[in-house]
């Protein structure tokens, strides 16, 4: 049965209309509150403006100089640009809730669409795991699972979610992805005088062991096998005899899956 994620009573969320939003800034003495349009392509400059306006209100100076020109941001903060069917498992529940989802990997936030057409930002700390089913190149849905990982793996991130590429009883292979904004220069094109930034994707791979500990690895056969050998020496040694080099996430996941199978068989 499909449920839209509407019954998350007790969990924090923020209503985000899909259209442009408005943020209310601090009022000046005797003045009215001012607003700034928060469109998807200038979220960073919005934050900069809010911070600077606050500095003006709190400082003893008459003004703080900052660039008021709207900034352009190329790309998207989302892992998959469009909405996709999926499901969410909350930390206090046994059964997942199905809904229409979108994963913002820049802010590590999961959004859920409501029937009204706006969306909710789900409280990240309450999410244990979630699944997205975006449409693949062949037109069929592809299941992608994401698990909450310990905070602090990446210093700039708080609560974060890594894609589970290979799940096993002994060890799993996770891929943590996040986007940062790369500051750009002013574009000197016709009718354009706007600074242009861009989203830059970053990734880090981890082996997650049965006890919950995480070992960072590089996306190479040698790095993964070396890390596996620390706890699964015999199985890793057998796998090392395979001289083919993994080059894709699927091939890396297959290495971990085979080591898992060998370790489970021996027990």
The string of pLDDT tens digits covering residues 44-100 is 433 343 333 333 333 444 444 445 556 678 889 999 989 999 999 998 889 999 999
pLDDT for 264 equals 65
SS3 state of residue 168? coil
pLDDT for 263 equals 74
Kindly give the parts of the chain with pLDDT less than 70: 1-71, 185-193, 264-267
Determine, yes or no, domain membership for 51: yes
In the block, residue with structure tokens 């899909």: 18
Query: Same domain, yes or no, for 223 and 145?
Result: no
Determine, yes or no, domain membership for 213: no
Model pTM score = 0.71
Domain that holds residue 252: 218-267
What is the C-alpha separation between 264 and 55, in angstroms, rounded? 59
Burial class of residue 255, CB neighbours in 10 A (0-12, 13-18, 19+): buried
Contacts of 238 (CB under 8 A, 6+ apart): 262
Query: Same domain, yes or no, for 8 and 66?
Result: yes
Query: Same domain, yes or no, for 149 and 49?
Result: yes
pLDDT for 183 equals 87
Alpha helical stretches, state H, 90-190: none
Whether the Cβ atoms of residue 150 and residue 161 lie closer than 8 Å to each other: no
Query: Same domain, yes or no, for 47 and 139?
Result: yes
In this structure, what are the phi and psi dihedrals at residue 64, rounded to the nearest 5 degrees? Answer: -120, 125
Contacts of 102 (CB under 8 A, 6+ apart): 78, 80, 82, 83, 84, 110, 111, 113, 119
Query: Same domain, yes or no, for 116 and 247?
Result: no
DSSP classification of residue 123: -
Q: Residue 174 corresponds to which tokens in the numbers above? A: 């996770």
Query: Same domain, yes or no, for 85 and 192?
Result: yes
pLDDT for 61 equals 40
Query: Same domain, yes or no, for 122 and 90?
Result: yes
Query: Same domain, yes or no, for 226 and 117?
Result: no
Determine, yes or no, domain membership for 211: no
Domain count, the chain: 2
SS3 state of residue 27? coil
pLDDT for 267 equals 54
What is the C-alpha separation between 75 and 173, in angstroms, rounded? 27
Determine, yes or no, domain membership for 210: no
pLDDT for 262 equals 82
In this structure, what are the phi and psi dihedrals at residue 146, rounded to the nearest 5 degrees? Answer: -130, 130
Whether the Cβ atoms of residue 113 and residue 99 lie closer than 8 Å to each other: yes
């Amino acid at each position: 049965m499909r449920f839209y994620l509407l019954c998350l009573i007790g969990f924090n969320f923020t209503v985000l209309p899909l259209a442009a939003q408005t943020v209310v800034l601090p009022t000046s003495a005797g003045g009215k509150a001012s607003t700034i349009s928060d469109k998807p392509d200038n979220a960073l400059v919005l934050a900069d403006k809010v911070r600077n306006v606050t500095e003006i209100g709190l400082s003893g100076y008459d003004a703080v100089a900052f660039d008021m020109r709207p900034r352009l941001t190329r790309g998207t903060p989302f892992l998959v640009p469009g909405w996709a069917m999926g499901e969410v498992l909350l930390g206090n529940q046994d059964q997942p809730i199905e809904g229409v989802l979108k994963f913002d990997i820049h802010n590590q936030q999961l959004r859920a669409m409501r029937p009204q057409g706006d969306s909710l930002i789900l409280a990240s700390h309450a999410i244990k795991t979630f699944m997205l089913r975006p449409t693949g190149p062949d037109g069929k849905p592809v299941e992608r699972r994401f698990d909450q990982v310990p905070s602090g793996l990446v210093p700039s991130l708080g609560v974060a979610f890594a894609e589970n590429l290979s799940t096993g009883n002994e060890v799993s292979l996770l891929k943590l992805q996040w986007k940062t904004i790369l500051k750009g220069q002013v574009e000197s094109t016709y009718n354009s005088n706007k600074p242009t930034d861009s989203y830059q994707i970053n990734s880090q791979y981890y082996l997650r062991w049965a006890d919950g500990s995480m070992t960072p690895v590089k996306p190479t056969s040698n790095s993964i096998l070396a890390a596996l050998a620390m706890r699964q020496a015999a199985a890793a040694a057998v796998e090392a005899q395979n001289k083919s080099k993994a080059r894709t996430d699927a091939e890396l996941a297959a290495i971990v899956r085979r080591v898992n199978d060998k370790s489970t068989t021996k027990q």
